[in-house]
Amino acid sequence: MKSSRPDILQMAAVGRQAVKVRDWARVNACALEISKHAPQDAEGPFLFGLAQKAARRAEPAARYFARAIELDESRYDAGVELAHQYILLNRYADARQLLDRYRSSLDDSPVYLDMAGQTYAAMSLYRDAYPLYKAAIAKQPNVEPFKANLASCAVYLGKIDEARSIYEGLLKRNPMHQQNHYELSQLGRAGDDAHIRKMLYVLQKSDPDPAKNIFIYYALGKEYEDLEQWDDSFRYYKKGGDAVKTVADYDVATDVEVIDRIVDVCDAEWLADTPSKEKHPRTPVFIVGLPRTGTTLTDRILSSHSQVQSAGETQLMQMVLKRNSRIQGVSGMTPEIVTAAAAADAAQIGRDYLDAISYRLSDEPLFIDKLPENVNYAGFIAKAWPDAKIVHLRRHPMDACFAMYKQSYFRFAYSLDDLAEYYLAYDRMSRHWRGTLGDRMVEVEYEKLVSSQEHETRRLIAALGLEFEEACLHFEKNIAAVATASSTQVREKAHTRSIDKWRQYAEHLEPLRQRLEAGGVDL
């Protein structure tokens, strides 16, 4: 319900103005007054919700937005805000339900059209997000963040020319915007140094603090690589990684401890002790490994099959393990969570995961979760599902490491020292899974996949118990969205250009090679 009392309307206007200037004390005061004098008015709990959202308190924010909807179900703003909080609370099915309910009511609000698009995108539902971004821009054509969101979504949907046009337009208006230069650089191979010269000018005129220039460093590294200027390319990749290291709160030992605990806890005896025997109507296929080892390519090949759907990359396996560990208040995975999750009911882990991902699934009997980091949880997957498929991608260690090093995404790959430590831990774990899981884990070598695509595809399809389909050889025609670092590469046919790419940088990568070799990695 909405009050028509002038004093309440005035208080609501004061509260909305306070939101604009981020005066959250005043917002709370206005919300309190409205709730006190007009308890059936949805504006009071809505303002409370905005204040809690600003304080990053997702649970109370969600409660207030839900209350606003109870009082006035037409409040699409509360609906979209609640859906956004549900994403933070890992309640994806509830978030999707809310967005589907309110999306037809958003035409007069470009802000909430864009927010709804972002929330769909956070669930990798890019086809739902795209028209909302378009509608927001139709209402307010000159809002740059709206355009940037549309461009990002267009990339994931394979609309590369549209994305390029948007980024070029944004850079025409604001030539110094480093992230837009970076995004533009990722859309194809540079044929000349025209964009490099523009980016060097931006770098010359920008703040000299390296931490302020991370995007432009990585973009320059990528385009120098396109032009086969290897030394300049590595110099800028290293500048980017070094700059991130100065501001990142990260210690590789934390990840190594988790991996080592997984190896210690998830042994053959644990795996054989009360595994789940439940059968489910849909079978998960987990594509795992290190990033940049061909996991996206494999996902595209398999999801081109009529019996296989891709759910993309999700964090749901880790979320379910943390929930079943009963350890609260920890953001990342820890050795303690691993130990506690290993003692949890495997069948319940399987049920919780399938419940969490159900919002993404259609009718295909097999579905893919393609998060590379799930390699850490291969033992949990094998124990939770008797029929789950685990596809493990492998790639030459030096190519794999360099491919991660030159991206701006991976917390353990910003320095060669961290990268070596992480890879050695991963190598120990992958050897452990090979010995523990046996043929439960289907291994695919990237080099064979791109050089003998049909043979390897047929082998992989057979390993999943499926009949071969010709469409799997033409994955580049797959129209499904791709939201990974490979989103542009997998729109073309398989190629071998990336095999042995690391050798162009061999002198710079020699410390990494020596460290891996000393650690027993087969090079």
Q: State residue 85's pLDDT score.
A: 97
Q: Cα–Cα distances in Å, from 177 out to 7, 187, 198, 313, 458? A: 45, 17, 11, 29, 46
Q: Specify the CATH class of 252-518 in words.
A: alpha beta
Percent of the chain with pLDDT over 90: 88
Q: How many CB atoms lie within 10 A of CB 514?
A: 11
Contact criterion met (CB below 8 Å) for 213 and 231: no
Q: State residue 476's pLDDT score.
A: 83
Indicate whether 362 pLDDT > 60: yes
Indicate whether 312 pLDDT > 80: yes
Cα distance between residue 130 and residue 117, in whole Å? 7
Cα distance between residue 200 and residue 235, in whole Å? 14
Indicate whether 276 pLDDT > 90: no
Question: Position of tokens 């010709």?
Answer: 470
- 335: confidence class by pLDDT, cuts 50, 70, 90: very high
470-521, pLDDT tens digit by residue?
999 998 887 666 655 555 555 567 788 889 999 999 999 999 999 999 999 9
Cα distance between residue 523 and residue 518, in whole Å? 11
Q: Concatenated DSSP letters for 231-296?
A: HHHHHHHHHHHHHHHHH----HHHHHHHHHHHHHHS-HHHHHSS------SSEEEEEESSTTSSHH
Mutual angle of helices 214-226 and 178-185, in 10-degree steps: 30
Closest of 343, 315, 298, 345 to residue 442, by C-alpha = 298
Q: State residue 480's pLDDT score.
A: 67
Q: Please tell me which residue, 139 or 90, carries the higher pLDDT value.
A: 139
- 185: confidence class by pLDDT, cuts 50, 70, 90: very high
Side chain identity at 347, as an amino acid letter?
A: A
Tell which phi-psi region holds residue 385, choosing left (phi > 0), alpha (psi between -120 and 50) or beta: beta
Q: State residue 477's pLDDT score.
A: 80
Fill in the DSSP letter of residue 354: H
Q: Concatenated DSSP letters for 378-409?
A: HHHHHHH-TT-EEEEEE--HHHHHHHHHTSS-
**Which stretch of DSSP H or E encloses residue 444?**
strand 441-445
Q: State residue 496's pLDDT score.
A: 82
Contact criterion met (CB below 8 Å) for 136 and 114: yes
Cα distance between residue 134 and residue 166, in whole Å? 12
Indicate whether 400 pLDDT > 80: yes
- 433: confidence class by pLDDT, cuts 50, 70, 90: very high
Contact criterion met (CB below 8 Å) for 54 and 22: yes
Q: State residue 484's pLDDT score.
A: 54
- Each domain of the chain, given as residue ranges in start order, spans 175-248, 252-518
**Which stretch of DSSP H or E encloses residue 375?**
none
Cα distance between residue 134 and residue 113, in whole Å? 9
Cα distance between residue 399 and residue 405, in whole Å? 10
Q: State residue 336's pLDDT score.
A: 97
81-111, pLDDT tens digit by residue?
999 999 999 899 999 999 999 999 998 899 9
Mean pLDDT of the chain: 94
Cα distance between residue 501 and residue 212, in whole Å? 29
Phi, psi (degrees; rounded to nearest 5) at 141: -65, -20
Phi, psi (degrees; rounded to nearest 5) at 333: -75, 140
* Model confidence pTM above 0.75: yes
Side chain identity at 430, as an amino acid letter?
A: S
Angle (CA) 394-398-404 rounded to 5° is 80
Fill in the DSSP letter of residue 212: G
Measured in whole angstroms, the distance separating CA 97 from the mean position of its chain's CA atoms is 21
